[in-house]
Amino acid sequence: MIDFPNAKINLGLYITSKRPDGFHNIETIFVPVPTLCDILEIIPSPNSGKPLIFSQTGLTVKGDVDSNLCVNAHRILSSHTSLPKVSMHLHKQIPMGAGLGGGSADGAFALRMLNELADNPLPSSDLSQLALELGSDCPFFLVNKPCFATGRGEILNRVNLPISNMFIMLVNPNIHVDTGLAFRKSTPQLAATSLAGIAEIPLERWKNTISNDFEKGDCAHHKQVKSIKDKLYDSGAVYCSMSGSGGTVFAIYRAEPPKGLFNEPYFLKTVKM
C-alpha cells in the first residue's frame, strides 16, 4: 500500500503552561496541507529475515534509522498486536525542522497503515494513544482535518475555517529549528486569543488578533522570519505567521500569490485550499 503523509500549518500557537511530565500545554489550530506530502509505501515481505526492512530516499533525515518515527511506529504497534513482516520505504519531501510536522505525519501514517495490516487491528481510540507516544502532534494526523488542539496537541476538536479556495504560500529560508529547544526557551502564559472561536473572527482581523508564541524572543532566525512576513504582507497576503516552532512562514492569499518573491535556497510551495 502507498499513502502520502502531508504537512500541516498552525493557525496561532499559544504555550499556556508547563506540565509535570515535562511537556507543555498548548492551544493551536492544526490545518493539513494536502498537496505537500512525503510518500510512504508498506508491503508485506513474508520471506524477509526481519520483522521490518526500512529504506528511505529524498531529503536526508538526520539521526539513525532506529530513531525514525516510521520505525518507531512499527515498534510501538508490534508490541500491542501481531504484524506481518513488512518492507517500508519513505520518500522524504517535506523539509525537516520546519514547523510543518512532516516527521509526525510519517509516523502517524505508518501507524495507521500498519494497523490495517495487523491480524487484529486496534480501534481508533487505542491508535490515537499510541500516536501520542510517537509525538505530541501525531494524533492530529490520524484525524487530518482542521482542528482546535489543546493539551499537548492531542485533544482535538474539528473546526470550520473560512479559507476554502484560498491560496497558501509556504516559505522556509533553509532554517532548521529544534522544537524541544524552542519549547525549553519559551515562557508559558495564558492564550492571547481564544482560538476555539477562530471561525467567528473575520480573516482581515487575524493579523492583529492571532499570534504564535514561538515568534517571541531573540532567536537568530526571528529577524529573518519578520522580514519574510513583511514581504508577504506587502505582496497582498491577508494573514502571515510562522508555523509551529518554525522556521517556515506561511501566508494566506485570496488570489494566487505573485511569483518571484523569493529565490533559492528558500523552500517555496504554494497550495490552493
Residue-by-residue DSSP string for 100-162:
S-HHHHHHHHHHHHHHHHSSSPPPHHHHHHHHHHH-TTHHHHHH-S-EEEETTTTEEEE---T
pLDDT tens for each residue of 28-48: 999 999 999 999 999 999 988
What's residue 42's pLDDT? 98
Active-site residue flag, 38: no
pLDDT per position as a tens digit, 203-228: 999 999 999 998 886 565 778 888 89
Q: Is the pLDDT of residue 245 over 90?
A: no
Reply yes or no on whether the pLDDT at 180 is more than 80.
Answer: no
Same-domain pairing of 25 and 126: yes
Query: Where among 133, 157, 181 does a domain terminate?
Result: 157
pLDDT at 266: 83
201 shares its domain with 260: yes
Q: What is the pLDDT of residue 75?
A: 96
CB neighbour burial string for 41-57, b if at least 16 within 10 angstroms, e if fewer? ebeebeeeeeebebebe
Q: Tell me the average pLDDT across 106-116.
A: 98
Mean pLDDT along residues 102-129:
96
Q: With b meaning 16 or more CB within 10 Å and e meaning fewer, what string describes 146-155?
A: bbbbbbbbbe
Residue 228: domain span: 164-272
The domain boundary, picked from 109, 141, 157, lies at 157
**Together in a domain, 153 and 30:** yes
From 132, 157, 182, the end of a domain falls on: 157
106 is catalytic: no
Residue 264, pLDDT score: 72
Domain count for the chain, please give it: 2
CA distance 165 to 21: 41
Which position has the higher pLDDT, 262 or 53?
53
* 217 in the same domain as 145: no
Averaged pLDDT, 71-89 = 96
Q: Across all residues in the chain, what is the average pLDDT?
A: 91
Scanning the structure block, which residue is given the C-alpha cell 512499527?
74
> Do 96 and 127 lie in a common domain?
yes
CATH number of the domain within which 56 lies: 3.30.230.10
Q: Is the pLDDT assigned to residue 98 strictly greater than 70?
A: yes
Give the tens place of pLDDT for each residue, 5-14: 999 999 999 9
Q: Are residues 38 and 151 in the same domain?
A: yes
Identify whether residues 140 and 172 lie together within a single domain. Answer: no
Q: Which range (96-100, 101-105, 176-180, 199-203) has the least confidence?
A: 176-180
Domain containing 260 — which CATH number?
3.30.70.890
Residue tagged active-site, from 92, 137, 213, 229: 137
- Within this chain, do residues 14 and 89 fall inside the same structural domain, yes or no? yes
d(CA 97, CA 104): 11
Residue 61 has pLDDT above 60, yes or no: yes
